[in-house]
Amino acid sequence: MATEKTRAIFLDIDGTLIDGAGGPFPDDAARLEEAHEAGNEIFLSTGRSLAALPPPLKNARWVDGVIAGCGATVTLYGSIIYRKFVPPELLPEVCKLYLKNGK
């Protein structure tokens, strides 16, 4: 839980904690665990959806919260505290855009 001396650490996932070879790497995870044990709050910030978080990150004890889906979902201490969905009437256009761009 946050105190007046708590520091918040926000980390990107892709290219920071994980890369094409995997991750998080043991040394990185150990340092983050140490930072967490020292009273710092650690948050992951990613463009990925919450469902697309790799299990080693999703289940890490040192993760206090996640900002996922470019801010569409925010968790704090394992609970979703904010979620914004694309309005249903925009979904066909969003899907067309994704398909057009090879997503």
pLDDT at residue 33, rounded to an integer: 95
Cα 38 to Cα 34: distance, rounded to the nearest angstrom: 6
Domain locations in the chain as residue ranges: 8-100
Burial call 69-90: b when 16+ CB within 10 Å, e when fewer: beeebbbeeeeeeeeeeeeeee
* pTM for the full predicted model: 0.80
pLDDT at residue 97, rounded to an integer: 92
Residues 8-100, CATH architecture: 3-Layer(aba) Sandwich (3.40)
Residues 1-20: pLDDT tens digits? 555 677 999 999 998 888 87
Cα 72 to Cα 66: distance, rounded to the nearest angstrom: 11
5 vs 62, residue with greater confidence: 62
